[in-house]
Amino acid sequence: MANFGTWLHTRRKGRLIGKDADGRCYYESTGPARKGGGMDRPERWVIYLKGEDASAVPPEWWGWLHHTLDAPIAPEERKPWQIPYQPNMTGTAQAYHPQGSLYATGQHPPATGDYEPWTPESATEA
């Protein structure tokens, strides 16, 4: 969600390059390339959906946004291992809890009998 300054900058100096499957808009500057760090290249930016962070950018647009690629990856060129974005669910009810976690079941798993507590007497026996 763009604030007024971003909206105005985008209207005046941005050219829409495309949208991803979720509706985020990607822009490139129409004016002269930015000078900085010895590189002359156009400025690129994304307008996020409300409440999103930078990790929401899909792989096909990430390379273009960071000037690694000249164009976004076409959807048919996506690799099988490039899975759709999933937000980090830590701290929510949908967070991952491994087997045996108190958060998963609310109860301790039964003891297996493979644990022997340390005692000072057992240390001197060895």
3-class DSSP state of 19:
strand
pLDDT given for residue 103 in this prediction: 77
pLDDT value, residue 35: 64
Q: Find how far residue 12's CA is from the centre of its chain.
A: 29
Per residue in 62-120, pLDDT (tens digit) is 999 999 999 998 878 888 887 777 778 888 888 888 877 777 777 776 777 777 888 88
Report if residue 89 sits inside a domain: no
pLDDT given at position 34: 64
Within a domain: residue 99?
no
Whether pLDDT at 56 is above 80: yes
Domain count along the chain: 1
Question: What is the model's pTM?
Answer: 0.66
Alpha carbon distance 121, 116 (integer Å): 13
Does some domain include residue 68? yes
Which of helix, strand or coil describes residue 121? Answer: helix
* pLDDT for 14: 93
pLDDT at 10 over 60: yes
Average pLDDT over residues 14-39: 84
pLDDT of residue 29: 92
- 103 within domain boundaries: no
Full residue range of the structural domain in which residue 11 is found? 4-77
| Inside any domain, residue 96 | no
Is residue 44 included in any domain, yes or no? Answer: yes
